[in-house]
Amino acid sequence: MLLPISAMLVLPLAAERSNETAKLRIAASQYEIISVLMKNQEYSRVPDEFRKILDLNLSTENEKPLVQATFQVVDGLRQAGQYSTATQIADEALNKLKLSESKYFLMMAKGKVLKDQGRFQEAIEIYRKAQAFAPSGLAPEK
């Protein structure tokens, strides 16, 4: 009798992992779509495609790849002079993230965008806010 009960407990866990793996694969393909759009200078389409990644609601344990991809998108937009779009994406991602370390890195990216625009006081303010989320492990924000 123990075997069927333990199998029932394992199956939902395997399904959850499989679902999260599928979400990560979708996120990876969305990131590639965004990369192509940026290479083709179709910047106005990037936010809608990026939202599709955020709407996947990846688990907290998978925030790191989301933050890395977001940082690269924001930085690429910054380098292309697409400051408004870069700020929009950073802000939307910041609203979805749960880990302090994740928020820290995106605030730093947003600060670079503001600095490049000559919005120095705002950059200083965002860097000060980032300090509150400085990496101290992977504990969720208090």
- pLDDT band at residue 136, thresholds of 50, 70 and 90? low
| Residues 77, 85 contacting (CB under 8 angstroms) | yes
| Residues 49, 30 contacting (CB under 8 angstroms) | yes
pLDDT at 123 over 90: yes
Is 141 within the bounds of a domain?
Answer: no
- pLDDT band at residue 101, thresholds of 50, 70 and 90? confident
CATH classification of the domain holding 12: 1.25.40.10
Cα separation of 71 and 90, whole Å?
8
φ, ψ (nearest 5 deg) of residue 137: 100, -165
Tally the domains of the chain: 1
Is 140 within the bounds of a domain?
Answer: no
Q: Which pLDDT tens digit goes with each residue over 29-64?
A: 999 999 999 999 999 999 999 999 999 998 888 888
Is 116 within the bounds of a domain?
Answer: yes
- The whole-number pLDDT of residue 16 equals 60
Sign of CA dihedral 95, 97, 99, 104: negative
Is 136 within the bounds of a domain?
Answer: no
- pLDDT band at residue 85, thresholds of 50, 70 and 90? very high
- The whole-number pLDDT of residue 77 equals 97
Domain of 117 in residue numbering reads as: 2-131
